Structure 1
Amino acid sequence: MGRPPARWVRPALVALTAVALALTALGTGAVGTASVVSASMAPTYGVGGTLLTTTVGVGEPGRGDVVVFAVPASWRSAARESGVELETGLMVKRVVGRGGDRVVCCAPGGRLVVNGEVLDEGYLARRPQDVTNPTYDVTVPAGHLWLLGDNRRHSFDSRAMQVREPGAGFVPVSAVRARVLGGF
């Protein structure tokens, strides 16, 4: 009877299988990367970081998902007029509202309310009461999203567009290019 395999063999085989699957996915375009170019998603994803993304099952992302999306032309021109330079035609933001959701800012303490429930946003850079938020009460149209950065003090997002022009803060689901799986 032979010796039992060393303790490291099984974890090593699992790791090698995971790497092989990831490389296969990269080769098919199902998994990719994106670079973080602004502080809008800090502390979740910092400037200079790399995001691992997937196009698998992009469809309509869920509330709380972080997505990479093509910036609508109206956002690009508004950003330019506001002195915000968008380095690429893509942005990374968190989905706060989906089609049919009512998003209200703000409950006591500066917290967001979605469909009557106060959101627990533990990912925020600062406590909500520390951020100056424009107030809004929007219902997201079908096929659209309400997208916000985790670093609300430094994020050009749905709020900025809504203040500029009511209804302009909604992003079509079709603009979503990938979901963020994580960063490094």
Structure 2
Amino acid sequence: MVETLEATAVERAWRIASEVTDPELPMLTLADLGVLRDVRQDDDGTIVVAITPTYTGCPAMATMRDDLVHRLTDAGFSSVRVRVQLSPPWTTDWITDEGRKALSDNGISPPGQAPRGPISLQLAPTRRAIHCLQCGSGDTEVTSEFGSTACKALYRCRACGEPFDHVKEI
């Protein structure tokens, strides 16, 4: 009977945690972004949520933690702890198909496949095959490797002139 109650509590906590949105990309849930890694219940009843930062030093982690704690405590969980899980490191490949569509629907170019293996150091901007979300043109240029957040690059379409963010592959 206890196992059933624990599984139910964990499943409920997972559902609630998976609905929390990213503070920098509010069209994505933490689950769609792939940063929500695990939800479990300790022996003392504490709900423990594991999240992985999109990159080391991500300033949104504190807000993610606070939002998770608030949502879960508001849902009736009396003890909640959020832990940061660094291994394996997050990759843009963990963004769900629904998350990629939500990015695109909101004018942000979703990432392509993350690089594999050793990554060579480049001093020039990364070349990506990016298409404009407004007109579909592939004639785009990077204007800054840092867009509205450090995990996005700013692009401009040469065909229609529209600027747009692109989530960088990592």
TM-score, normalisation: structure 1: 0.25
Q: Give the strand-richer structure, 1 or 2.
A: 1
TM-score by length of 2: 0.26
